Each structure stands twice: as C-alpha cells, then as structure tokens.
Amino acid sequence: MNYPKEIRRYCPKCNTHTVQKVSLYKAGKRRGSALGERRHAEDKKGYGGQKFPKLAKPAKTTKKATRILTCTVCKKKFNTLGIRIRKFELVAV
C-alpha cells in the first residue's frame, strides 16, 4: 500500500485541520537489563528451560503497520490503529 508522507487532518490540540507528517512506528531496542528480560532468561535456564513450544507455523502472516502522525504546527504526535498489511510504503505526493 502506498501512503502519502504528509496528510491534512484534524489535530485535537490545535482544534483545526493541520498538515501532519506520517511515519511508521518501530518497536524500541530491547534492554537485557529490563526486569521482564531478566526473569525470562532466568526461567529459560537449565534442563527443561523452554517455557512453551516454539511456533512452527505462526497464525499471522502479516505484521501491523502503526502510523505516527506529527502535527507540523504544535509538534504533537498521534498514533493510529495498526492495520495488517504485507507492504506499507510512504510516498511523496
């Protein structure tokens, strides 16, 4: 799917329509020192450490593309609901 890099859309903060830049959400880098990561590593240690069977055939074939809209006037960012799509491209219109 091709999607414009800039769209004109309602901004709740400015309370009017403004030009908003579109970018894609990307998950942040995982920290090995985070509590969940440490706990998971501890659980997986030793004999019989695998907590659940590794997925041989994942149910989903696509990932969700979440758009981040940045208002060019007030610089506030808005997340939109992710849509399942194979290919999501931002194009200049």
Q: Which residues bind Zn ion (CB under 5 A)?
A: 11, 13-14, 71, 73-74
CB nearer Zn ion, residue 73 or residue 83: 73
Considering the complex, state which of residue 11 and residue 65 has its C-beta at the smaller distance from Zn ion.
11
What letter does residue 20 receive in the DSSP assignment?
Answer: E
Q: With beta carbons less than 8 A apart as the criterion, state whether 68 and 74 touch.
A: no
Cβ 26 to Zn ion, closest distance in Å? 23
Determine how β-strand 6-11 pairs with β-strand 83-85. Answer: unpaired
In the complex, minimum distance from the CB of residue 8 to Zn ion, in angstroms, rounded to a whole number: 12
CA nearest neighbour of 10 among 19, 2, 1, 21: 19
Cβ proximity to Zn ion: between 17 and 38 the closer is 17
